[in-house]
Amino acid sequence: MFLLEKAPAKINLTLDVLHKRPDHYHEVEMVMTTIDLADRIELIELQEDIIEIRSENRFVPNDERNLAYRAAKLIKDRYHIKHGVRIYIDKQIPVAAGLAGGSSDAAAVLRGLNRLWSLHISVKELAALGSQIGSDVSFCVYGSTAIARGRGEHITELPAPPSCWVVLAKPEIGVSTQSIYQNLQPNRLIHPDTAGMINAIKDGNYIDVCKKTGNVLESVTLSLYPEVKQIKAQMEKSGADAVLMSGSGPTVFALVQQENRAYRIYNGLRGFCNEVYVVRMLGSSYVG
């Protein structure tokens, strides 16, 4: 038996931190959505009781450090599955980019093994399992548009935002999520208007969606990595409707409605950044 599962990247339309928790995580409130930049996950059932990870991308670990491996292990242990699985990851999402690539791979493995082994696990249960792997995995299990609260694992789905083009630029640096959260000064934050973003999405109001974007982690990453700041300024200069860093960065994205303007931004980034993508916002669910 063999099946394919798509693992789309996410972007944060908002990211707010409410306070630091005693468990050293931060209580967050974020509006996230999916984009048409996706890894492809191939799952092949093995008779032998092993989990194999294969990928041609040298930055993707092929052992238990891989979040996809951890997802398979979790399902196998919880549901006493004695078969094995080979997981082939066709990596399209840049690694350590703030786009939840590893989390989305893990979520795709949870969804895929649920189908492969006919386990009939509900989406809600899969999301709860996913939260044991990482804070972004629950959102990725839904793969839609949602508000994420708690440390990211409490998901309330939203309708898809008005569709638009998303230009993404990933500078050649890796950013540690943990260190960005650690450098945050909670009493100095300019909080995004999360309620305003939710209303804008529910109203299908593209202009307001653009106006309400905001990420409290952005100023931390921008101050540590001037190249991210430079890319953001370049995108703003090229006429984007909104420009924001995703997650803890370093990827910056621009929103625009017209395709020709998306390519103008893309062309404007020549010489600033090698990894640039032009994709559509997806926003609606991948699962049943």
Ligand X SMILES: C[C@](O)(CO)[C@H](O)COP(=O)(O)OP(=O)(O)OC[C@H]1O[C@@H](n2ccc(N)nc2=O)[C@H](O)[C@@H]1O
Is 102 assigned to a binding site? yes
Please list every residue from 231 through 250 that binds ligand X, using CB under 6 A.
247-248
Residue type for position 98: G
84 binds ligand ATP (CB under 6 A): no
Tokens 């898809």 identify what position? 160
241 part of the active site: no
Distance from C-alpha of 36 to C-alpha of 39, rounded to nearest angstrom: 10
- Token readout for 239 is 């006429």
- Give whichever of 228 and 262 is closer to ligand X, judged by the CB atom: 228
Tokens 């006429």 identify what position? 239
- Token readout for 32 is 């996230």
**Is the backbone peptide bond immediately before 226 cis, with ω within 30 degrees of 0?**
no
Cross-strand partners of 20: 26
Residues 6+ apart with CB under 8 A from 79: 117, 119
> Which residue, among 125, 205, 103, has the nearest Cα to 162 in the 3D structure?
205
State the DSSP code for 281.
Answer: B
Please list every residue from 159 through 178 that binds ligand X, using CB under 6 A.
177-178
151 binds ligand X (CB under 6 A): yes
Is 98 assigned to a binding site? yes
184 binds ligand ATP (CB under 6 A): no
101 binds ligand ATP (CB under 6 A): yes
**What's the CA dihedral at 61, 66, 72, 75 to 10 degrees?**
160
Window of 97-105, 117-125, 141-149, 263-271 that interacts with ligand ATP by CB under 6 A: 97-105
Is 94 assigned to a binding site? yes
What's phi and psi for 232, nearest 5 deg? -60, -45
99 binds, among ligand ATP, ligand X, none (CB under 5 to 8 A by kind): ligand ATP
91 part of the active site: no
Q: How many other C-beta atoms can be found within 10 angstroms of the C-beta atom of residue 50?
A: 11
Determine which residue in the list 5, 16, 29, 105 makes contact with ligand ATP, applying CB under 6 A.
105
151 binds, among ligand ATP, ligand X, none (CB under 5 to 8 A by kind): ligand X
153 binds ligand ATP (CB under 6 A): no
250 binds ligand ATP (CB under 6 A): no
Binding-site string for ligand ATP from residue 15 to residue 54, where x marks contact by CB under 6 A and - marks none: ----------------------------------------
Kindly provide the b/e burial profile for residues 9-46, where b requires at least 16 CB atoms within 10 angstroms of the residue's own CB.
bbbbbbbbbeeeeeeeebebbbbbbbbebbbebebeee
Q: Which of 39, 105, 136, 241 is catalytic?
A: 136
Question: Which residues are annotated as catalytic?
Answer: 10, 136
Interacting residues toward ligand X by CB under 6 A: 12, 15, 25-26, 28, 30, 100, 103, 134-136, 151-152, 177-178, 181, 247-248
Q: Which residues bind ligand ATP (CB under 6 A)?
A: 60-61, 65-68, 89, 95-103, 105, 136, 177, 247-248
Annotated binding residues:
94-104
